[in-house]
Structure 1
C-alpha cells in the first residue's frame, strides 16, 4: 500500500496520470447543445388507430339512450385468481402441488393453471361472435347445453356462481335481448 502511495507521490507520474485522464474525458460542460450534431434523430409519425368498436354488451343503449347498468354480481370479483373475472372459467382456480423427480424422488413445488383458451363463441340471441377466454370443461358444458345462450341463461345457483363477472354481464345482455324480442312478439299480435 505504501509502495502505491510513494509512486503516486512522484510529480512526473502524477502529471502523466492527469493527462491520460484528460484524454479519456471528452465531455465538457462548456459545449453548447447547438454544437452537437443530431443528424440521426428522425421525427416519426405514430400511426393513429381508429376508435375501437365496442361490443354489444358494453355499449348497448336502451330506449332511454343510457348505457346498460348491470346488476351487481352476487358473488363479487375473484381476488385470488383475477384472470377468471375476464372469461368463463367455471370456478376453476390454480392448483398447487409437488412435481416429484423419478430418480431422486425430490419434491419441487409447482402450480397447475386452468386449461383456458381464447375462443370465439357465437350468440344467436345477440347475433354476435364473442371472443372469450374459456376453460375446456366449460366449452364441453356449452356444447352439451346446446350453445352459449342456453349456458348463460340457466337459472341454477351453481351455474350463476361459475359464470363470474364477465359471464354475468353476458347473461344480462342476453336476457335483455330476449325480453325485447318477447315484447316485440307480443306487440305484433
Structure 2
C-alpha cells in the first residue's frame, strides 16, 4: 500500500535532519494518512478511503464528499477515487 493520499495525491517528501552542529542527514517526511469512511449523499453509500488529515479537513470544509469531487481535478485523484467521482457525476445527471 503506497503512502499517498487518495484524494489530494499528497505523498512522502524528503529533506534533512539538522543537528545542533549543523550535520545534515537525509530523512523522509511522511503524510499523515488515516483510513476513513466517507458518506456520499447522492449515492447513499459509504466509501473507505486512505486520505491525509488535511484532505479530511478540506472535504469537511467543502461540504462533503460530493462537493469535494465536484471541485477536484482528475489528475490528483487515485484510480479508486476517480471511479467514485464518475459514479457521483452519473447520479447527479440522472437526478
TM over 0.5: yes
Number of aligned residue pairs:
95
Kindly indicate whether residue 5 of structure 2 is the aligned counterpart of residue 91 of structure 1. no
Deviation at 1:177, TM superposition (A): 1.9
Q: Deviations along 1:13-41, whole A, 9 cap, x unmatched? A: xxxxxxxxxxxxxxxxxxxxxxxxxxxxx
Task: Give the alignment's Cα RMSD to 1 decimal.
Answer: 2.1
- The residue aligned with 1:107 is 24
Unmatched runs of 5 consecutive residues or more in structure 2 = none
Pairing 1:108-123 to 2, within 5 Å after superposition: 108-123=25-40
Contact 2:16 2:25 in 1 (8 A): yes
Q: Which has the higher strand share?
A: 2
Bigger Rg, structure 1 or 2: 1
Which residue of the other structure, out of 161, 173, 177, is the alignment partner of 2:87? Answer: 173
TM-score, normalised relative to structure 2: 0.83
Provide the secondary structure at the position in 1 that maps to 2:76: helix
Query: Which protein has greater RCO, CA pairs closer than 8 Å, 6+ apart?
Result: 2
Deviations 1:51-72 (A, max 9, x none): xxxxxxxxxxxxxxxxxxxxxx
The TM-score normalised by the length of structure 1 is 0.45
Query: Which of 130, 140, 150 is 2:47 aligned to?
Result: 130
